[in-house]
Amino acid sequence: MGVMIAGVYHLEDPAPDTKLDGAYRRQVSTVRNALPDGPFEAGRFHLYAAWNCPWAHRVLLTRAVKGLEDAITVAYARPRRTPDGWVYDLEGEYSDPLFNVTALHQVYERVDPAYTGRITVPFLWDRVENCAVSNESADLVRMLGTLEGYGPNLAPPDKVEQIDDWNAKIYPRLNNGVYRAGFARTQEAYEAGFQDVFTMLDEIESHLETNRYLCGDVLTEADLRLFPTLARFDVAYHYAFRCNLRRLVDYPNLWGYARDLYARPEIGRTVKPDIYKAGYFSPSELRNPLGIVPLGPEVDWTAPQDRRSLSPATS
């Protein structure tokens, strides 16, 4: 992943930040502003995203479930990063209709000519003020998910505490846990991430025995933050990141839950398994030096499931 230092773009090894213990440490987001006050203006905001990035996927899911697809334009980066980072074509489905850039770092230059930080998606731009809003997915999911006048409230007041509890557990142990396993530089660091991943999956599997969604019978932000990890698990994390104790399809409740979400058209159309494989099996000196993309596995997201009868647990 590339980085800018004092406004100059530098190529970095795709392996993550580590210290002497070999553990992966994700850098904090550097652009964290709020949406402007007042009514939301359709067409005002432009989202930089990539289909294979799970953090961008969270925001794309929120945009879809909230019915904001016509209100927020998107520039999708090419599935595989290059030495120039996230890149764009000059036309077509992987182009940027706003600034017509060829690389995302060219947009970050507009934030600050001396910008220092990672060049990441998602990244929301305000056309009216000609400025960046945020590159923190959690903030964007909460801000967009609670917009009035568009779709369901994905963080209703009576569920916020429960949502925040799930997010606080799932993010470090599972969403980021797969990266802690996959990007580890020592056996000990790998095993710590690996154990967190499957302990968290086991906990969610048990909870979903009696709950249709994480927060009972209501789809919330917590589900949309979990789903991108599940969507990538069997085609990418199980193999590329060595999270291979079990597959998603080996968890009856989690796999049924994931297919239940996928069956919603607005969610299903955001799932791109072939793009995930192309991205996660990109050439990497540490993980995939030849850049060979596997043809399998076959995962049938349309297999029948029926979770509609589940009611929230009483405890």
Catalytic residues: 53, 179
235: phi then psi, degrees, rounded to nearest 5:
-90, -15
Burial zone of 249 (CB within 10 Å; 0-12 exposed, 13-18 middle, 19+ buried): middle
Q: What are the residues facing 125 on neighbouring strands?
A: 46, 132
Residues 6+ apart with CB under 8 A from 299: 234, 235, 249, 273
Token look-up 């990418």 returns 236
Cis before 122? omega within 30: yes
Closest CA to 227 of 174, 265, 179: 174
Q: CA of 110: how far to CAs of 49, 100, 130, in Å?
A: 17, 13, 9
**Collapsing DSSP states into helix, strand and coil, what is residue 218?**
coil
Query: Within a 13 Å sphere around the CA of 262, how many CA atoms are in the beta-carbon half?
Result: 21
Q: What are the residues facing 87 on neighbouring strands?
A: 103
- Give the C-alpha separation, 283 to 2, whole Å: 15
What are 158's two structure tokens? 């009576």
How far, in whole angstroms, is CA 289 from its chain's centroid? 25
